[in-house]
């Protein structure tokens, strides 16, 4: 995998917005009452494979960007839109257990986080991500209900 070095360190694909398929967007109100937008992209052919099999293929790459929001009253109502980036995450499906002992790899995925702004922290990534994703364990640790393109046609 060209996104992973020999030690299992993951980097964000440089061209994911152009080459990857947009899966969907979650609007999330955080513990402070601030709205965030979580945009998720998937490596090519992910959605097609998932629709056929109900699971993610080994090597699947998911990229999630988390943005703060701005909002204003508009003619359509109270509108929110993405403003500055806060953090982004990369998940890589790993059915083979390629990096045993690396704390960022386990439960069938490699997990990576990077802050695009100084107030975002990625410390304790594995514990936070897995803790957050426990309710999605039965759908391969991914909240698929927010991604309509994964649903059967």
Given this model, what pLDDT does residue 128 score? 63
Pick the CATH number of 16-148 from 3.40.190.10, 3.30.70.120, 3.40.50.2000, 3.50.70.20: 3.50.70.20
The better pLDDT of the pair 42, 140 is held by: 42
Taking only the tens place, the pLDDT of each residue in 108-130 is 999 888 865 444 456 555 566 66
Question: In sequence order, what are the residues at sequence separation of 6 or more whose Cβ sits closer than 8 angstroms to the Cβ of residue 26?
Answer: 37, 38, 40, 143, 146
In the 8-state DSSP scheme, what is residue 137?
Answer: G
The percentage of residues in the chain with a pLDDT greater than 70, rounded to a whole number, is 88
Is 0.75 surpassed by the pTM of this model? Answer: yes
| 8 A C-beta contact, residue 27 and residue 80 | yes
Taking only the tens place, the pLDDT of each residue in 51-77 is 999 999 999 999 999 999 998 999 999
Average pLDDT over residues 29-47: 92
Domain residue spans of the chain = 16-148
Given this model, what pLDDT does residue 120 score? 47
């Amino acid at each position: 995998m060209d996104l992973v070095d020999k030690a299992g360190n993951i980097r964000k694909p440089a061209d994911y917005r152009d080459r990857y398929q947009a899966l969907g967007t979650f609007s999330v109100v955080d513990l402070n009452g601030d709205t965030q937008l979580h945009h998720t992209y998937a490596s090519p052919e992910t959605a097609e494979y998932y629709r056929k099999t109900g699971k993610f293929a080994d090597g699947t790459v998911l990229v999630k960007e988390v943005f703060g929001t701005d909002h204003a009253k508009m003619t359509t109502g109270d509108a929110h839109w993405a403003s500055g980036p806060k953090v982004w995450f990369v998940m890589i499906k790993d059915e083979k257990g390629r990096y045993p002992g690396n704390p960022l790899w386990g439960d069938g995925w490699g997990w990576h986080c990077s802050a695009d702004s100084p107030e975002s922290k990625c410390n304790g990534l594995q514990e936070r991500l897995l803790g957050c994703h426990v309710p999605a364990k039965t759908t391969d640790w991914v909240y698929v209900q927010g991604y309509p393109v994964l649903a059967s046609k």
